[in-house]
Structure 1
Amino acid sequence: MPGALEECCAYFCTGLSVFGVLGLFFMGYTLKSGNHWFLGVSKEGADASAMACFYAGVIYAVYLFYCGAKVMSWSGKKGDGSEELMHSDV
């Protein structure tokens, strides 16, 4: 079972990776479709920039898969939630 900080970081990295993948693929598609002006990239550098966005998006997707697998493995070990809560008598 992970510590609270480790679990929090895994959730945060998973969420951040989702936005990273979506944002980078959106920028790569925008550059490839000829809208380089939208991102302030010169026409000559648009293809190279688009490929860099796609490569970075793939790296983020691998990281997303790794962090997501960690989160899913931890959530499966927590139980089904049917455990009885213990209350102390005050």
Structure 2
Amino acid sequence: MYLASSNGIVSVKNNEITPVVYFDYPQGMDRVPYTADPQYGYHIKPQRLGKFNDGSFILGDRFDGVYLLMKNGSSYDFYLPEMTKKAYLIGRN
């Protein structure tokens, strides 16, 4: 099982918790990441988590934002996917 928090993503297997990804602020910001008093408007507060076959992750936050952590060798690249301005209804005619 994989779990996500504001600190990153961990795997849980056989009662052992292993860190997989640690979330950090962009280079140049002199601050400890994800403290209780947010200073910036882009804290990641995951509520949903999915994993792709290649080891990449997709996260949904509590404000319905979507974030991608694309596997890149032994690390991950962070992406904010572009969203279309047109809404689509799924499952309705």
Q: Fold match, TM over 0.5?
A: no
TM-score by length of 1: 0.17
Which of 1 and 2 has greater Rg?
1
The structure richer in helix per residue is 1
